[in-house]
């Protein structure tokens, strides 16, 4: 029924060769799909609203074709599937992207290149599409360079540059993106390659979700993390640390101690934390409204603050606790039950003791697991 309604409304054209599969033909509708090894070539590109990559693994575009998309609103060239095994390649290191920026767009709002291999740099013309609201560059594993200035994208609400592990640094002007609500993959590298720092994010009054990646060459200003408290709208925060040498680990660990209170934070995700002892800021007194706490990988060996009675008197309001790949982590379930009285779900995987999957809905006491 869904396919029938979509066909009747001319939402998509459906190919008779592939049952229930949208087609790349653009002659009767204004939305084209990239299917298998087909690329849209039919007349009518000038009127297309959407180009959506359904399952094409290899993109071979001519700049001339992309430059005809004068009315496009959504350009989903990357993968929509959550699995990283869905691989997409391009044959020209992403040079075709210059065709996207060749036109003056009035309604172009969404561009996704997620998971496309072979793109080494994003041309500056992409950052000049001032109508863009969502830019998804996640998991472009060959991406090394972004344009130097992103401040033109004033309407941008979502920017995802996470899992781009070859990226050298951040562009300047992120602090001017006043509409930004979601920023994933903010890279802290050396000072030369990162003109945008955490302090610039304090200007983003609408920012709700933020993920930070601290690279192997990270250099941080003193008390740089303390500026996060100025983002009053922030509700979800993720911090990931790269694997570093023992020489750098102590320096980065010291920088991690300077963290500000975020009382309105609802979700905190820490990956690869280089500290062995729980930092002072990771306590229920500083994180009063935290509902979800995820800690994956790293050196942490406990959630207990040694000798701090003022901390242990305050109870966590966390409802979901996930602890994964913490080989040093030792937890006593009775203490967890006492310190997390609102806990609904606990997941402990590949830690020091046995794996635990506990849900309050099962009716079993956590201390009996």
Tens-digit pLDDT profile for residues 116-148? 999 999 999 899 999 999 999 999 999 999 999
In this structure, are strands 134-136 and 116-117 parallel, antiparallel, or unpaired?
unpaired
Residue with tokens 């030369």: 192
Among 209, 198, 158, 203, smallest CA distance to 180 is for 158
- Alpha-carbon distance 133 to 125, whole Å? 15
- Are 291 and 268 in contact by the 8 Å Cβ rule? The answer is no
- Alpha-carbon distance 332 to 292, whole Å? 19
User: What is residue 18's predicted lDDT score, i.e. its pLDDT?
Assistant: 59
Tens-digit pLDDT profile for residues 23-35? 666 566 777 777 6
- Alpha-carbon distance 159 to 312, whole Å? 38
Prediction pTM value: 0.88
Among 179, 237, 170, smallest CA distance to 203 is for 179
- φ and ψ at residue 365, rounded to 5 degrees: -70, 140
Among 195, 276, 208, smallest CA distance to 237 is for 208
In this structure, are strands 345-349 and 356-359 parallel, antiparallel, or unpaired?
antiparallel
Segment holding 251, helix H or strand E: helix 246-256
Residue with tokens 């310190």: 339
| pLDDT, block means (10 residues), the chain with 369 residues | 78 66 65 64 70 84 77 90 83 77 76 93 91 95 92 96 91 94 91 76 94 82 79 94 69 64 91 86 90 94 67 81 92 89 94 89 82
Q: Which residues contact 246 (CB under 8 A, 6 or more apart)?
A: none
Q: How many CB atoms lie within 10 A of CB 50?
A: 18
């Amino acid at each position: 029924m869904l396919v029938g309604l979509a066909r009747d409304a001319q939402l998509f054209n459906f190919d008779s060769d592939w049952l229930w599969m949208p087609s790349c033909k653009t002659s009767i509708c204004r939305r084209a799909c990239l299917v298998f090894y087909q690329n849209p070539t039919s007349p009518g590109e000038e009127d297309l609203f959407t180009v959506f990559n359904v399952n094409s693994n290899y993109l071979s575009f001519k700049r001339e074709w992309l430059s005809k998309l004068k009315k496009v609103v959504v350009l989903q060239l990357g993968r929509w599937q959550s699995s990283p095994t869905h691989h997409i390649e391009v044959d020209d290191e992403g040079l075709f992207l210059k065709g996207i920026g060749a036109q003056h767009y009035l309604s172009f709002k969404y561009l996704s290149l997620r998971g496309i291999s072979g793109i080494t740099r994003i041309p500056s013309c992409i950052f000049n599409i001032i109508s863009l609201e969502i830019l998804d560059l996640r998991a472009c594993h060959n991406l090394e360079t972004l344009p130097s200035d992103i401040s033109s994208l004033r309407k941008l609400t979502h920017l995802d540059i996470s899992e781009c592990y070859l990226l050298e640094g951040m562009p300047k002007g992120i602090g001017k993106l006043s509409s930004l609500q979601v920023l994933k993959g903010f890279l802290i590298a050396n000072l030369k390659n990162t003109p945008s720092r955490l302090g610039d994010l304090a200007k983003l009054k609408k920012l709700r979700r933020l993920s930070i990646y601290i690279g192997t060459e990270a250099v941080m200003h003193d008390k740089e993390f303390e500026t996060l408290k100025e983002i009053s709208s922030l509700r979800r925060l993720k911090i990931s640390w790269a694997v570093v040498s023992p020489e750098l680990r102590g320096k980065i660990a010291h920088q991690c101690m300077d963290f500000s209170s975020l009382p309105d934070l609802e979700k905190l995700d820490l990956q690869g934390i280089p500290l062995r002892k729980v930092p002072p800021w990771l306590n229920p007194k500083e994180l009063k409204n935290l509902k979800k706490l995820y800690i994956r990988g790293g050196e942490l060996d406990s959630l207990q603050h040694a000798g701090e009675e003022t901390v242990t008197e305050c109870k966590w309001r966390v409802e979901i606790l996930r602890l994964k790949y913490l080989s040093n982590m030792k937890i006593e379930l009775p203490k967890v039950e006492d310190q997390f009285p609102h806990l609904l779900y606990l997941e402990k995987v590949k830690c020091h003791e046995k794996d635990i999957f506990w849900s309050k809905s099962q009716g079993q006491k956590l201390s009996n697991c």
